[in-house]
Each structure stands twice: as C-alpha cells, then as structure tokens.
Amino acid sequence: MTRILPTVTGPQDLRTLTRDQLVQLATEIRERIIEVVGRNGGHLASNLGVVELTMALHCVFDFKTDRLLWDVGHQAYVHKLLTGRNARFDTLRKAGGISGFPNTAESEYDLFNVGHAGTAIPTAVGMARGASLVGEDRRVVAVVGDASIFNGVAFEGLNQAGTLRRQLLVVLNDNSMGIAPTQGGMAEYLAKFRVSTVYEDLKRGVKRYLPQVPVIGKPAFNALDHLKDAFKATLSPHQIFEQLGFVYVGPTDGHDLEHMIELLQLLRDVQHPVLLHVHTQKGKGAEWALADPTKFHSPKPFKVEGCRVEIQKGGVSYTAAFADALIKLAQEDTRVFALTAAMPDGTGLNKFQQLIPERFLDGGIAESATVDIAAGMCKAGVRPVAAIYSTFLQRAFDQVFQEVTLQGLPVIFGIDRAGLVGGDGPVHHGFADIAYLRVMPNMVLMAPGDGPEIEAALRLALSLDTPSAVRYPRDTVPEPLFKDGATPPFELGRSVRLREGQDATVLAYGSTCRAAMEAAGQLAAQGIEVRVVNARFAKPVDRVMVSESMTRGGPVVTVEDHSVAGGFGSAILEAARDIGLAANHVVLLGIPENRFIAHGSRAGQLAEVGIDADGIARAVREALGAPPTAGGATLQRHRDLSYVPTVDET
C-alpha cells in the first residue's frame, strides 16, 4: 500500500483524500509519532489522542487565514505532520530540529510559541477581537485540554470570550487526564458525563440537522439550537459553559473522523462563541500507552517489541533525590506536607504520594491556587513544601509575594527544572527564578550542588521561619562533591569552599559546582590553580566569601544556570558594592540576558552558553589573559590585573 503521509505537503492535500485514505493517514500518523518519539523522547500519549481531531480541524478550516491555537502545545505533533513538517520530523526536539511545541519560526501555521497551560483561550479572544478590529475575516479556533480549561487563566479567558459577538470556537479535548489525572471539583463533575451512550445520541442529533448546511448567521444558529436541544436531553455538562455565554455542543467522540468533520462544518461559521466538547483517549492507537497515559505522557526514548515497551533509563535525577530527601524529612517531621501542581510524576512526588498520601496534595494545573493553599496550610501550623517547576512557578509570582512573602510564612519551594531544560526548549527553561524571587523581602534562595546537598538544603529550609526556595535542574545528580557522605550542613548565608587555588576564584551556584570542579581540574593540568566556591545561597549571599573573593587577587568568575540579568552573579555584584569593593574583575557566566536558548540536549545548551566545564575553564583563561587554546604549554600568569580592590569609605 502506498504511504500517504509523505505525500501530504500541507493541509490542502487532506481535502483531496477519500474517507478510506484519511483513515489510513491517521494510522500512518500514529506510526510516525510512535517511531520518532520512541527514538527522541517527547510527548506521546497526548498526540496519539488528537490525530482525528487535528485532521478534522485542518479539513474544515483553512489555517492559512483562519487561526488555530493549541493550549500548552505539547499535542501539536499531528498538526506539524500535516503542515509540511513530516520530512523533518525525525529531528524532533534535537538541536536545530523540529520543536516539541508550536514554534513560530518553523511554520506560518504556528502562531504562538507556547508550552504553559491555560492561555490559548484568552489569546484566542485577543486574536478574534484583533482580527475584527483590523477588518480581517478570520475564524479563530483554540484547542484546550480538560485539565487546562479549568486553570485560572483559561477560566478568565472563557469569562471574557462569552461576551464576544463573533465567531470563536473552543474545542475542549476531554480525555479525563492532564499530565496526571485531572484534579478538582470540575473534574469530578465532568467525569459524570463520560458515558459512551451520549455519543450515539449526538450522532443522531447531527444527522438529523445536517441537511441545514451551515451558512453565516441566523440559519446556522437555528440548526445549532436544535442540535443543542438534542444534546441537552442527554444531560450534559452544558450549564457552566452556557452560563459563561458559550453555545455548548457535546460531548462527542473525537476519534470518529467523519463525524468530527461534519460537526466542525456545522459549527464553522457560527457567529457566536461555541464550545465543542470532544472525548478522546490519551494514547489512542497504542494499547500500552492507553493503559498508562501518565507514563507515556512525555517518555524518554523507548523501544516497542510486541507487547513489551521498554523506556530508556537515566541516572538518578535531582528530581528523584529531592523526592527521596523530602520523604525522609517527612518521616522525621509529621508537619511536612508535599504539594505539586499537576506534576506528581515530573516532581518525583508520586513516590511521596504513595508512601504518605495523607500529607500530599496535587493542586492540578493551578500553580497560583496551589501556592495559596500551601500558604493557608503553613498559617495553620503545617510545613508545606511546594514542588513546582521554575517556569511554572512564574504563574504564581503574585501568590509567592502576597500570601507567602508578605506574611513571612516559611513555605518552602522546591524549584525543579531550574536552568536549561534540554528538549522542551525556551518556553520551559528555568531562567528567571533567582531574578524574580530575589526581590522578595526575606526570601532565602538556595541551590544544592549535588544530591546530598538537596537534603541538607531542605533541612535548613525546615528550620527557618522565613520563606525559602531550593532550586535544582532537570539533570542527573553528579558525583558527590564531598567524599564519604561528609556534606557539611547548610548554614544560612554560608558558602563552602570546594577546592583551593591562588590564580582565580570560581563562585559556582547550585548544579554548576560539578562543572566548575571539572574546569578546575582541566586548568590545574594546564598549571592554573583555581579556588572553587560552592555558593549555596543567592539570597542572602555569603558576604564574607564575597569580600574575600573580591580582594584576594585574580579574576572572579560567577557561574549560574540562570539569566545573568538580576541573577546570582548580579547578587554578587550588589554585595560587593555594599561592602564597597570593586568588581570589575568579575566575569558573569550564565544564560545571556537577551537570548532564548533553542531546544536541544541540555549538555549542548550548557555548552552553548558557556557554563559547562569547558566554558568555565575558557572563561577563567580569558580572564587571566591566557591564550585561548592551552595545549599542554605552561601559561604566563597575569598577576598584574588592573584592578585595585578597595573598601568604600561610607
């Protein structure tokens, strides 16, 4: 049989295919996704679930002029395959290859670079109003999952959308799963309506009213009214959306391609906000993925052999070390309570949940509320630890301010995915948490340099009466920094020296400590002896250490897996100035202030921004004025660095 997918150059080709060919294409798309994700890792189950829905959307709308927004965006693989990116799809998530999320640089069909949940609806409202304002006739469609649609931003968007007096189609892709099972009262409510019989009723409804083919305005609307009535009789979750001003249609079977096409044709030109509620299955087409959609939400590379699927194993991650440390501390202290926002697996807390379920809460894709819940618990005498990715904690900035910092409540934040994240790319890098938390009064910011330091940092955090945060990257833990488990305890605002050397000083923050030590090893082999300091704290920074580092002679290199704008290095500069010391001999290594680092391997990204061992060694050599490539030659030391450390007179 001739393969169809390679012949699809764009959505227009879909419209020439027969029904049978479309069915075959759906199968080929699933095979292609399983093949590439199996090799590269990536988002699997969600993409397998939207094959027919995506095909139907591209059959009925023309997204050259119409606008399609994917909420979160991890479910856009099918969309990519159908919009001319099949040939390059092998490069998924690789450096220079296809992004795992919608990417405006890749295709005119990708409108927003996204990755965070809940924003497609308000963005769609803006695009719809914008199109009307500039006098362009564009239909706007947003596809949103059932976990995301009850995120606060999505709800705010729905509330605004309901007042639109023009076309807007929101497709609720309901698979009863976010990344983990969907949380909250609405999830329980929606669950009541997941009964297969309604599909049949729906189909009958559509068939009955389809002869009244849609035209813009009143006639289509009348047909729609009848359609709605047909659904309502089946007792569906229409009220909430209707209360918000939407015409609600559904629920319907999102895997029945022909039916989806018919339905979308009927809804396409309705000049009113419409919510189409579609039921799909995460992992559809792969029994093993269907059976465990959480495991196959975003797996590492895997191999399928018959019914056996083997996912590639990595080393021990910072995430796992965090979870283990937290479990240990929770077993010692019954006040410890763990929270996550829809990421029990991603944060490693699923293990905590299994062991101590009564002290675990998954707040759903609702970081803002999750932080407030933690604050309320803390006020009540509990010691909450909220594990949230750096990029997602951005969504709770104001709650970290108002409910936590302003009260001085000792809520602890476990900031996972802090720093460069590899394949997920710019939308997921934790590049900003130091900057956005450092401005919070009395916040304590820590970063462990290895696995054992996570426990040490959390132990200090639990002893504090102020808010604190412990940041760690999406990476495996390195060889321990201290031998024989002799990790010194964390003391507030105190750094630890890891290696001595008179030529230069490297101040490493968090996970960059190991790279700094490796750089020091390389440099030692070239005759350059470097002191390496494990800074441990970005707030408060160790002022004794800063003072000594600035005045001891030799360049000082700060290293952080974070933007250099307002980050750890910036805090060092501020501290030096406070003490009255010159800092023009300091070199700040980190993510450049004005660049988004593209997806690729984390190792490649670290190298790109120069915070791997080679980059740190290179920076030290440059600061010393040593030639860029050392070979094995003895270096001329530049001891006459032209700065004069002084103490401020004020």
* Residues 122-151 interacting with a second copy (rule: CB under 8 A): 122-131, 133-134, 136, 138, 150-151
Residue 413, interface with a second copy (CB under 8 A)?
no
Residue 105, interface with a second copy (CB under 8 A)?
no
Apex 115 CA angle, 112 and 118, nearest 5: 90
Site for a second copy in 307-336 (CB under 8 A): 335
Residue 197, interface with a second copy (CB under 8 A)?
no
Q: Of the listed pieces 16-24, 281-289, 362-370, 521-529, which binds a second copy according to CB under 8 A?
A: 362-370
Q: Among all chains, which residue has been given the structure tokens 């419409």?
A: 274
Q: Which of 12, 21, 104, 331 binds a second copy (CB under 8 A)?
A: 104
Q: How far is the CB of 492 from a second copy (least distance, A)?
A: 13
Site for a second copy in 68-87 (CB under 8 A): none
- Assigned token pair, 42: 């990536």
Residue 566, interface with a second copy (CB under 8 A)?
yes
The answer to whether 504 touches 531, Cβ cutoff 8 Å, is yes
**Percent helix / strand / coil, the chain, rounded to 5:** 40, 15, 45
Residue 625, interface with a second copy (CB under 8 A)?
yes
Residue 595, interface with a second copy (CB under 8 A)?
yes
Q: Of the listed pieces 55-63, 298-306, 528-536, 568-576, which binds a second copy according to CB under 8 A?
A: 568-576
Q: Of the listed pieces 39-47, 186-194, 290-298, 510-518, which binds a second copy according to CB under 8 A?
A: 186-194
The answer to whether 286 touches 51, Cβ cutoff 8 Å, is no
Site for a second copy in 225-244 (CB under 8 A): 237, 239-240, 243-244
Residue 306, interface with a second copy (CB under 8 A)?
no
Bridge partner residues of 505 (DSSP) = 531, 556
DSSP string computed for 418-448: -B--GGG-TTT-B-SHHHHHHTSTT-EEE--
| Interatomic CA distance for residues 190 and 277, integer angstroms | 11
- Assigned token pair, 195: 């009964």
CB count in 10 Å sphere of residue 276: 25
Q: Which of 75, 119, 505, 512 binds a second copy (CB under 8 A)?
A: 119
Coil/strand/helix, residue 119: coil
Coil/strand/helix, residue 237: coil
Q: How far is the CB of 548 from a second copy (least distance, A)?
A: 15
> Which DSSP helix (H) or strand (E) runs through 378?
helix 367-379
Q: How far is the CB of 422 from a second copy (least distance, A)?
A: 17
Q: Which of 84, 181, 184, 521 binds a second copy (CB under 8 A)?
A: 184
Distance (Å) of CA 203 to CA 232, 263, 593, 634: 13, 9, 54, 80
* Active site annotation includes 282: yes
| Interatomic CA distance for residues 241 and 537, integer angstroms | 47
| Interatomic CA distance for residues 309 and 286, integer angstroms | 11
| Interatomic CA distance for residues 290 and 485, integer angstroms | 42
Residue 500, interface with a second copy (CB under 8 A)?
no
Q: Residue 30 or residue 139: which is nearer to a second copy going by CB? A: 139
Residue spans of alpha helices (H) in 409-566: 433-438, 451-463, 512-525, 543-551
Residue 583, interface with a second copy (CB under 8 A)?
yes
* Active site annotation includes 367: yes
Residue 565, interface with a second copy (CB under 8 A)?
yes
Q: Which of the following is catalytic: 28, 367, 453, 518?
A: 367
Strands 496-499 and 530-534 come out as antiparallel
* Active site annotation includes 204: no
534-553 mask for a second copy (x: CB under 8 A)?
-----x--------------
Q: Which of the following is catalytic: 85, 93, 395, 474?
A: 395
Residue 102, interface with a second copy (CB under 8 A)?
no
Total number of residues binding a second copy (CB under 8 A)? Answer: 133
Q: Which of the following is catalytic: 32, 80, 282, 618?
A: 282
Positions marked catalytic: 282, 367, 395
